[in-house]
Amino acid sequence: MDKIEEFLLRKGFNPSQINKITSSYIFSTYKNYDILLNRISNSIKWLDDNGYDEKAIIHMTTDIPAILSLDSKAFEDRIKFLKDNNFNEKEIKKMTKSCAHIFSYSIEDKLQPVIDYLKGLKFSEADIKKILLRDPKLFAVSKDSLDEVFRNLHKLGFNKTQALAILKKAPSSFNSISTIPNKFKSIKDLEVQTSENQSIPLGFDKRQVVKMISDSPTILTYNNNAIRKKVSTLYELGFEPNAIKQMLIKSSPLLCLSPNTVKKKFNYFETIGYSKKQAIKVLQNMPTLFNLTSKRINSSFDNMQKYGFDRDTFKEMTVSHASLLNLTNKLMNSKLQALEKLGFSKEDVINITQAAPTLITSSIEMTRDKIEYLRSIGLGSIITKSPTNLITSTATIYARYEYFKSRKPPIQIDDEHYANLFITWKNFEKKYGINKEDLLQQFNYDEFKQKQKTEVNRNGR
């Protein structure tokens, strides 16, 4: 035993690591320590000769002392198995450094069955590689255990596609049968701790937790305290509990960001001119902005300023329509240029979109459709005269216009008399006695468009 300890000390192991190794079961299986010392020496030499540095060797053999008793053939057989399954040398090193168990697992009883199981789930070879590179410890999980995890997912409300996506993106959650049910409960029971030490449950229901995990399976890889800390950080920044709940339902990857990253992004918005209240509103409405880089957001401001917008003006536009910051510069420019192609000057485009940012966030087709319809009923001039009216949907404008025409006598609508087309639904119903649902059904814009299309096709033939 002394010879082995002295050998390990020379190889860089500390006393604690040596104690763990010498206390392992391999020492009880060898009566002749000289033979064991030879095995240990050969194992370390093989790892060294095959590119594992001293730090990796110490970590691997302390973690899994059993590999110190392996001969070179055992190592090489497993390397060959992994290469035969399309892993390259770099990938094999990465896998075995993080999971030295691979060298001690039986190919027939452990390694091959996991590959076969994943193939049976119809994963491609490329996907199988990704799964096992993300978590090579999956090789340790039996078929029965994997089946049980899938049954648990089904009981919790996940469908087969969602369950397979979880295995693909967060395979470590399959290492234990209890991981997913425990994590599911932890997320469902998330709460905010106020400064008065009061607990306020966020109140997720089962369906919402399923959505959150399906949208971002990697949240299953974070421990419960880390997730709670992220929720606490949002509350400390000024987000109300219900707002936090809606943000996480809308963008669960937010739970994958570190508290420090969340704070930095929030502070960044304040440094570029948003008040705290505005920053809260923007990030609450578009929580995916937490994932965008500051460089990307700066680029949006630079791009809009280059077009002709004042930076403060664009900032105010984003406060009411945070999704503007999610658009790429290329897409933003294409939408502004589409408005120019409809006959507006650059100055008009700036004024129109400043008053109605939805013209940028909506699809080009929807914007073009709205403008062409307004022009078709003689209201083209109001686009630049009263651009805030463009916030109203085309379906609403059409239904109200047709309703006014159908009245006895008809209600006049022209470029001087159009305000009632754009009043709130509450005021419209109060004034005319017809509700939104009935009016939109009676004068259906989609049916009108389809009729137009049919007539065009008929005339074209």
For 174-208, how does the pLDDT look when each residue is reduced to its tens digit (9 = 90+)?
Answer: 999 999 999 999 999 999 988 788 899 999 999 99
Query: Are 326 and 282 contacting, i.e. CB atoms less than 8 angstroms apart?
Result: no
* Centroid of chain to Cα 443: 40
The pLDDT assigned to 410 comes to 93
- Read off the DSSP letter of residue 109: I
Query: Are 370 and 379 contacting, i.e. CB atoms less than 8 angstroms apart?
Result: no
For 223-261, how does the pLDDT look when each residue is reduced to its tens digit (9 = 90+)?
Answer: 999 999 999 999 999 999 999 999 999 999 999 999 999
Phi first, then psi, for residue 200 (nearest 5°) are -120, 110
Q: Which residue has the tokens 């897409």?
A: 331
Residue 448, token pair as written in the block: 């009108």
Q: Long-range contacts: 340-349, Cβ < 8 Å, 24+?
A: 342/368, 342/371, 342/372, 344/383, 344/384, 346/307, 346/308, 347/308, 348/384
Q: What is the mean pLDDT of the chain?
A: 93
Alpha-carbon gap, residue 345 to 349, rounded angstroms: 6
Find the length of the chain: 461
pLDDT band at 170 (very low <50, low <70, confident <90, very high): very high
The pLDDT assigned to 110 comes to 94
Residues 154, 158, 159, 161, CA torsion sign? negative
The pLDDT assigned to 460 comes to 61
The stretch 329-345 carries a mean pLDDT of 94
Please name each of the domains of the chain with its CATH number: 141-273 (1.25.70.10), 292-376 (no CATH), 392-461 (no CATH)
Query: Are 327 and 300 contacting, i.e. CB atoms less than 8 angstroms apart?
Result: yes
The stretch 353-373 carries a mean pLDDT of 91
The pLDDT assigned to 197 comes to 82
Q: Is the pLDDT of residue 302 over 60?
A: yes
Q: What's the predicted TM-score (pTM) here? A: 0.83
Cis peptide before 15 (omega within 30 of 0): no
Alpha-carbon gap, residue 396 to 421, rounded angstroms: 8
Residue 255 burial by Cβ neighbours in a 10 Å radius (0-12, 13-18, 19+):
buried
Check residue 203 and give left, alpha or beta (phi > 0: left; psi -120 to 50: alpha): left
The pLDDT assigned to 1 comes to 64
Rg of the chain over all Cα atoms, to the nearest angstrom: 32
Phi first, then psi, for residue 158 (nearest 5°) are -85, 140
Query: Are 245 and 202 contacting, i.e. CB atoms less than 8 angstroms apart?
Result: yes
- Nearby residues of 439 by Cβ (< 8 Å), 6 or more positions away: 399, 400, 403
- Nearby residues of 5 by Cβ (< 8 Å), 6 or more positions away: 18, 22
Q: Is the pLDDT of residue 461 over 70?
A: no
In the chain, pLDDT over 90 holds for what percent of residues? 87
